[in-house]
Amino acid sequence: MVLNSVIDAIGDTPLIELSRVCQILDLDGRILAKLDYLLPGFSKKDRAARSIIEQARADGSLIPGQTVVELTSGNMGTGLAIVCGILGHPFVAVMSAGNSVERARMMRALGAEVVIVPQAEGGKPGEVSGADLALVDDAARRITAERNAFRADQFGHAGNPKAHAAGTGPEIWAQSAGAVTAFCDFAGSGGTLAGVSGYLSPLGVRCYAVEPDGARALAGEPVRAPDHPIQGGGYAMSDLTHLNGAKLAGHLSVTGASARDAARLLARTEGIFAGFSAGANLAAAIDLLRGPERGGCIAILMCDSGLKYLSTDLWE
């Protein structure tokens, strides 16, 4: 079958059994990894980018040729650069200087204008805190107003969770033949977790939020360590619009070190070259199989490609 554009290639990613990881670690249960790093923009954010832009065009909030602006760690921006480029919308990505340089280069290659925002005082390259994100949001709001642009708003637009409720969740259920008993995801905007849990929770699947150790705001804990190396999430935001009312079975925490080790384990044992957040998801799934989900079947996402982290310490 010949597709009309690369937009039509967004979705239907493979689901892989991590049998080697489970055997090496002597885990009681199964882990299934959905390879969203194989999407055209090398991340799960392609799904939300397509959904938001298509919904906005359909309801008239985005008119033909109008500029689109969004804050991004790089993944949402890459997805939007692809979708906007094909549909004829100039795109401006607003990103913290703390994110890896590969992401900015990829967005520019895809035709995006990339605005880099300096980090907050005390910020560390390779780590993006909630304070850094707030500065990026301020810049995105200003640019949106100046250019009379459409703000994609991945933290608030309903198209984000809708993409995962209509796509990711049903795909996981069908591909696993209903074997999945739990799902966990590292929370950024909360769209993936909200959408997948919205579909899977009514089917009896227990869904968990994953946050960095020391920045478990969603779990209601004081934030004592907002800086961490897991880019794309863990911003210590206690109120994520998409997760309001979401049915969650619990909240998990991972350290930067455990996420790094798990990502490296994926590469060495399963041939899956994914990023920090994929490692965080695997580390959380391992904890679940050693704890409350022992004997179960955990589904996780491989959120983005390891190619986006070559300048970080993930692959030293």
Answer whether 184's CB lies under 8 Å from 252's CB: yes
Residue 250 structure tokens = 């619990």
| CA dist., res. 230 & res. 122, Å (int) | 17
| CA dist., res. 309 & res. 286, Å (int) | 23
Residue positions annotated with a catalytic role: 45, 277
* 8, 31, 184, 213, 231 from 54: Cα distances, Å: 12, 33, 27, 36, 27
24 phi and psi angles, rounded to 5 deg:
-60, -40
Count other Cβ atoms within 10 Å, centred on residue 88: 9
| Kind of pairing between the strands at 206-212 and 150-151 | unpaired
| CA dist., res. 100 & res. 114, Å (int) | 13
| Kind of pairing between the strands at 68-71 and 91-96 | parallel
Listing from the earlier edge strand, what are the strands of the sheet with 91-96?
A: 113-117, 91-96, 68-71, 150-151
Phi-psi region at 247: left, alpha or beta (left = phi > 0; alpha = psi -120 to 50)? beta
Answer whether 202's CB lies under 8 Å from 232's CB: no
* Helix/strand/coil for 298: strand
Listing from the earlier edge strand, what are the strands of the sheet with 206-212?
A: 15-17, 30-34, 297-301, 182-186, 206-212, 250-254
Which amino acid does the sequence have at 274?
A: A
- The residue count of the chain comes to 316
Answer whether 46's CB lies under 8 Å from 76's CB: no
